[in-house]
Amino acid sequence: MAEDAPRSRKKAPEPEPEPPQPTYVYDLGADMLETLHRAFNLVAKKGGRRKPNEVDERDVPVLVRALGYNPTDQHIQRVVLRAREDEDPKHCTRGHLDINNLQKKIAEVFATDPSLSYRHTENELIACLRALSPPSQDYIEPTDLYDAMTDHGVSFTHDEAETMIRAGKDRDTQKVWHEDYAFVAASDSIPKPPNIIATEIPPELPPMEAPPPPPPPA
């Protein structure tokens, strides 16, 4: 009995190429740009830059907080790494970033990560303050709060910590009461950072094929 001829396998159809995706350019609004450059000039006066437009990477957290954000170390690292990708080492001192490049990366990272605008609730902040205070105590000493802000986790600068403590310290007792401070820090009256502008750049489409020539006359 003759053997059956092997059946030919049909090739799977080639997957269709994905259509080109648009890209976005993120820009800080005019008010945020002005705030960023004011903060940049203050940092520059401390001698933290080598060239006119350079930012020391260690000053990036200060500049970001000046815009109204409270970033984690991971957020700052993401901004720095994105900025490094577009830096020309020939034109920028090692460990520094160009301010114009940096502001674009700040806008990009913060526009695409809504968690950066998350505001802790009063109860969450009270729980944190209680953890830093002795048991059954409804306040924290300003010096203890200062140490926690500058020595643990994502640390604040001296000026930032002093400003935050001064805003929450009771004038009569000179103490930082948990509920009062939590109310100020979580209050909706604190202005949130304005929206970042995202401009869509349409993708480059492949050139269209020329139509076939008309048939020759009969």
DSSP string over 173-213:
T--EEHHHHHHHHH-TTSPPPPPPEEEEEPPPPPPPPPPPP
pLDDT at position 125 over 70: yes
Tens-digit pLDDT profile for residues 52-100? 788 888 888 888 888 877 777 788 888 999 999 888 777 777 888 999 8
Predicted confidence at residue 142, as pLDDT, reads 92
Average pLDDT, the chain: 78
**Of residues 36, 25, 27, the one with CA closest to residue 68:** 36
Tens-digit pLDDT profile for residues 18-58? 777 667 777 788 888 888 888 888 877 665 456 778 888 88
pLDDT at position 130 over 60: yes
pTM for the full model?
Answer: 0.58
Contact 26, 107 (CB under 8 A): yes
Question: Within 13 Å, how many C-alpha atoms sit on residue 212's CB side?
Answer: 3
pLDDT at position 213 over 80: no
Predicted confidence at residue 190, as pLDDT, reads 45
In Å, what is the CA distance from 92 to each residue of 49, 89, 99? Answer: 10, 5, 11
Tens-digit pLDDT profile for residues 151-210? 876 677 787 788 788 878 888 899 999 998 888 777 654 445 555 666 666 656 556 565
List, in order of start, the domains of the chain with CATH numbers. Answer: 23-118+192-201 (1.10.238.10), 122-186 (1.10.238.10)
Helix (H) or strand (E) holding 135: none
Question: How far is 106 from 123, CA to CA, in rounded Å?
Answer: 30
Predicted confidence at residue 175, as pLDDT, reads 92
In Å, what is the CA distance from 49 to each residue of 29, 66, 128? Answer: 25, 18, 36
Question: Within 13 Å, how many C-alpha atoms sit on residue 10's CB side?
Answer: 3
Predicted confidence at residue 176, as pLDDT, reads 92
Predicted confidence at residue 134, as pLDDT, reads 92
Residue 104 backbone dihedrals phi, psi, to 5 degrees: -70, -40
Classify the phi-psi angles of 178: left when phi > 0, otherwise alpha if psi is within -120 to 50, otherwise beta. Answer: alpha
108-112, 157-161, 208-212, 214-218: the lowest-pLDDT one: 208-212
The torsion defined by the Cα of 129, 132, 137 and 143, in degrees rounded to 10, comes to: -100
* Sequence letter at residue 197: I
pLDDT at position 6 over 80: no
Q: Which residues of 17-38 are buried (b: 16+ CB within 10 A; e: fewer)?
A: eeeeeeeeebbbeeebeebbee
Predicted confidence at residue 189, as pLDDT, reads 43
Tokens of 133: 């205070």
